Chain A
Amino acid sequence: MSTTSSDSAGASGRAVAGAVGIAGAPTDQGSGKGIAWLGEGSQLFILSVLGIGAFVLLMMLLSFVSEMFGGGGAGEAVDPGTGTITLALSTEPPQLDSTRATDMVSGQILGHVMEGLVRYDEFNRIVPGVAERWEIDESEAVFHLRDDSRWSDGTPVTAHDFVFAWRTAVEPETASEYAFILYPIKNARAVNEGDLPVTALGATAVDDHTLAVQLERPIGYFDKLVAFPTYYPIKQDFYEGRDGRYGADPEDLLYNGPFAIERWVHGAQLRMTRNDEYWARDRIHLNAIDYAYITSDVNATLNLFKDGKVAIASLDAETLHDALEQRWKLERFNDGSVFFIEFNHRPERLTHNRNLRKAIQLVVDPAELVYKVIKLPGNTPGESLFPVWLKGVNGYFRQEYPAPEHRVDIARAHDYLTRARQELGLDPLPPLIFLSGDNPAANKQSEYFQEVFASRLGLEVKIDRQIFKQRLAKMTAGEFDMVLAGWGPDYADPLTFGDLFASWNKNNRGAYVNPELDAWVEVAQSSLVPEERMQAFDEIQKIIYDDAVILPNYERGSVFVRNPRLKGVVRRAVGTDPDYTGAYIADG
Chain B
Amino acid sequence: MIRYTVIRLIQGVITVWFIATATFFAMHAVPGDPLMNDKAISEEIRRNLEAQYGLDKPLPVQYVIYIGNMLKGDFGISFAQENRSVNDIIREHFPVSAILGILAITFAGLGGILFGALTARYRNKMPDIVIMFLVILGISVPSFVFAALGQFALVNLNAFFGTSILPVAGWGTLSHMIAPSLVLGLGTMAFLTRLMRSSMLEIVSSDYVRTARSKGLPTTRIFLRHELRNAILPVVTVLGPSIAAITTGGFVVELVFAIPGLGRYFVQAVQQLDYTVIMGTTVFYGAFLVFMVIVVDLLYGLIDPRVRLE
Given the known interface contacts A60-B174, A173-B48, A304-B169, the answer about A29 and B205 at a Cβ–Cβ threshold of 8 Å is yes
- Pair A59/B83 contact, Cβ less than 8 Å: no
In the complex, chain B residues whose CB is within 8 Å of the CB of A3: 8, 11-12, 14-15
CB distance from A3 to the nearest CB of B (A): 4
Q: Which of B12, B154, B199, B261 contacts A15 (CB 8 A)?
A: B199
Given the known interface contacts A58-B103, A70-B96, the answer about A292 and B148 at a Cβ–Cβ threshold of 8 Å is no
Bound CA span A92–B258, Å? 11
Bound CA span A55–B111, Å? 10
List the A residue with the shortest CB-CB distance to B34. Answer: A469
Bound CA span A238–B103, Å? 43
- Pair B121/A472 contact, Cβ less than 8 Å: no
CB distance from A356 to the nearest CB of B (A): 26
Bound CA span A490–B121, Å? 68
Chain A, range 236-276, C-beta contacts under 8 Å to B: 245-248, 252, 265-268
| B57-65, B67-75, B133-141, B300-308 - the one binding chain A | B300-308
Bound CA span A37–B209, Å? 12
List the A residue with the shortest CB-CB distance to B294. Answer: A3
Chain B, range 69-90, C-beta contacts under 8 Å to A: 80-84, 89
Chain A, range 44-72, C-beta contacts under 8 Å to B: 44, 47-48, 51-52, 54-55, 58-60, 62-63, 65-67, 69-72
- Pair A71/B172 contact, Cβ less than 8 Å: yes
CB distance from A266 to the nearest CB of B (A): 6
Bound CA span A194–B44, Å? 8
- Pair B44/A476 contact, Cβ less than 8 Å: no
Q: Which of A4, A293, A306 contacts B170 (CB 8 A)?
A: A293
- Pair B234/A19 contact, Cβ less than 8 Å: yes
- Pair B258/A294 contact, Cβ less than 8 Å: yes
Q: Which of A52, A67, A177, A473 contacts B41 (CB 8 A)?
A: A177
Q: Cβ of B30 < 8 Å from any Cβ of A?
A: yes
Bound CA span A1–B14, Å? 11
- Pair A71/B44 contact, Cβ less than 8 Å: no
List the B residue with the shortest CB-CB distance to A35. Answer: B219
- Pair B309/A7 contact, Cβ less than 8 Å: yes
Interface size on B, residues (CB 8 A): 106
Given the known interface contacts A15-B237, A36-B213, the answer about A88 and B15 at a Cβ–Cβ threshold of 8 Å is no
- Pair A40/B256 contact, Cβ less than 8 Å: no
Q: Cβ of B40 < 8 Å from any Cβ of A?
A: yes
Q: Which of A11, A36, A69 contacts B300 (CB 8 A)?
A: A11
Q: Cβ of A41 < 8 Å from any Cβ of B?
A: yes
- Pair B264/A267 contact, Cβ less than 8 Å: yes
Q: Cβ of B211 < 8 Å from any Cβ of A?
A: no
Given the known interface contacts A7-B309, A306-B155, A470-B30, the answer about A92 and B170 at a Cβ–Cβ threshold of 8 Å is no
CB distance from A66 to the nearest CB of B (A): 5
List the B residue with the shortest CB-CB distance to A467. Answer: B271
List the B residue with the shortest CB-CB distance to A472. Answer: B36
B215-226 interface bits toward A, Cβ cutoff 8 Å, 1 = contact, 0 = none: 000011011100
Q: Which of B117, B169, B260 contacts A44 (CB 8 A)?
A: B117
| A20-28, A140-148, A516-524, A547-555 - the one binding chain B | A20-28
CB distance from A260 to the nearest CB of B (A): 18
Bound CA span A72–B176, Å? 9
CB distance from B217 to the nearest CB of A (A): 10
Bound CA span A174–B224, Å? 66
List the A residue with the shortest CB-CB distance to B257. Answer: A300
Bound CA span A96–B293, Å? 41
Q: Cβ of B107 < 8 Å from any Cβ of A?
A: yes
- Pair B170/A29 contact, Cβ less than 8 Å: no
- Pair B172/A72 contact, Cβ less than 8 Å: yes
In the complex, chain B residues whose CB is within 8 Å of the CB of A268: 170-172, 258-260
- Pair B205/A66 contact, Cβ less than 8 Å: no
CB distance from B239 to the nearest CB of A (A): 11
- Pair A40/B219 contact, Cβ less than 8 Å: yes
In the complex, chain B residues whose CB is within 8 Å of the CB of A88: 258
Given the known interface contacts A51-B110, A58-B102, the answer about A11 and B174 at a Cβ–Cβ threshold of 8 Å is no
Bound CA span A11–B177, Å? 36
Bound CA span A358–B264, Å? 44
CB distance from B36 to the nearest CB of A (A): 5
Chain B, range 256-288, C-beta contacts under 8 Å to A: 256-261, 264-265, 271-273
Chain A, range 430-475, C-beta contacts under 8 Å to B: 467-474
Given the known interface contacts A32-B205, A300-B257, the answer about A73 and B123 at a Cβ–Cβ threshold of 8 Å is no
In the complex, chain A residues whose CB is within 8 Å of the CB of B113: 51
Q: Which of B114, B173, B223 contacts A51 (CB 8 A)?
A: B114
In the complex, chain B residues whose CB is within 8 Å of the CB of A180: 41-42, 45
- Pair B114/A47 contact, Cβ less than 8 Å: yes
In the complex, chain A residues whose CB is within 8 Å of the CB of B102: 58, 62
Bound CA span A245–B177, Å? 32
Q: Which of A11, A43, A70, A245 contacts B220 (CB 8 A)?
A: A43
Q: Cβ of A193 < 8 Å from any Cβ of B?
A: yes
Q: Cβ of A307 < 8 Å from any Cβ of B?
A: yes
Q: Cβ of A506 < 8 Å from any Cβ of B?
A: yes
In the complex, chain B residues whose CB is within 8 Å of the CB of A299: 148, 151, 256
- Pair A473/B258 contact, Cβ less than 8 Å: no
- Pair A507/B39 contact, Cβ less than 8 Å: yes
Given the known interface contacts A44-B121, A59-B177, A62-B99, the answer about A19 and B114 at a Cβ–Cβ threshold of 8 Å is no
Q: Cβ of A156 < 8 Å from any Cβ of B?
A: no
Bound CA span A165–B167, Å? 42
- Pair A16/B273 contact, Cβ less than 8 Å: no
Q: Cβ of B195 < 8 Å from any Cβ of A?
A: yes
Most buried by A among B15, B170, B219, B304: B170
- Pair B82/A63 contact, Cβ less than 8 Å: no
CB distance from A57 to the nearest CB of B (A): 10
Chain A, range 157-205, C-beta contacts under 8 Å to B: 172-177, 179-180, 192-194
List the A residue with the shortest CB-CB distance to B15. Answer: A3
- Pair B255/A297 contact, Cβ less than 8 Å: yes
Given the known interface contacts A70-B170, A300-B255, the answer about A37 and B121 at a Cβ–Cβ threshold of 8 Å is yes
**4 tightest CB-CB pairs across the interface, nearest first?**
A70-B172, A267-B260, A473-B32, A506-B40
Binding site for A on B (CB under 8 A): 4, 8, 11-12, 14-15, 30-34, 36-42, 44-45, 48-49, 51-52, 80-84, 89, 92-93, 95-96, 99, 102-103, 106-107, 110-111, 113-114, 117-118, 121, 123, 148, 151-152, 154-155, 158-159, 164, 167-174, 176-178, 181, 195, 197-199, 201-202, 204-205, 213, 219-220, 222-224, 227, 233-234, 237, 255-261, 264-265, 271-273, 293, 297, 300, 304, 306-310
Binding site for B on A (CB under 8 A): 1-5, 7-8, 11-12, 15-16, 18-23, 27-29, 31-32, 35-37, 39-41, 43-44, 47-48, 51-52, 54-55, 58-60, 62-63, 65-67, 69-74, 88, 92, 94-97, 100, 102, 172-177, 179-180, 192-194, 245-248, 252, 265-268, 292-297, 299-300, 303-304, 306-307, 309, 467-474, 476-477, 488, 505-507, 509
Give me 9 other A-B pairs in contact (C-beta within 8 A), A23-B197, A28-B205, A92-B81 excluded.
A5-B8, A5-B309, A7-B307, A39-B219, A70-B176, A100-B82, A174-B48, A268-B258, A307-B158
Would you give 15 A-B contacts (Cβ < 8 Å), ordered by A?
A: A5-B309, A7-B310, A36-B219, A36-B222, A40-B121, A55-B107, A58-B106, A71-B170, A73-B173, A248-B83, A267-B260, A268-B171, A294-B260, A303-B152, A473-B32
